[in-house]
Amino acid sequence: MRNNPDDLSNQLVSKIKQCLRAEISSSQPVIDGDEEVTDGTDDIIIGRHEYAEQLLEQITKWEEN
């Protein structure tokens, strides 16, 4: 069943990766300085961005094994 796109676990991992990419994409303007956050949540946005990138990288490493 491994690498079977119909497998539930593969579907779940795919959805998680999609969510992480969306988080990275939505926070990228703040990271790049193109968008200013005025409510004081910039550190939270930066932390979420960094975590999403790191988790996506880790999932990729796990998939290679």
Give yes or no for residue 5 having a pLDDT over 70: no
Q: What's the whole-model pTM score?
A: 0.83
Distance CA 7, CA 42 (A): 38
Give the pair of three-digit tokens for residue 3: 């690498």
Q: What's the whole-number mean pLDDT along residues 20-41?
A: 96
Distance CA 50, CA 25 (A): 12
Give yes or no for residue 64 having a pLDDT over 60: yes
pLDDT number for residue 48: 97
Distance CA 25, CA 13 (A): 18
State the pLDDT confidence band at 2, using cuts at 50, 70 and 90. Answer: low
Total residues belonging to the chain: 65
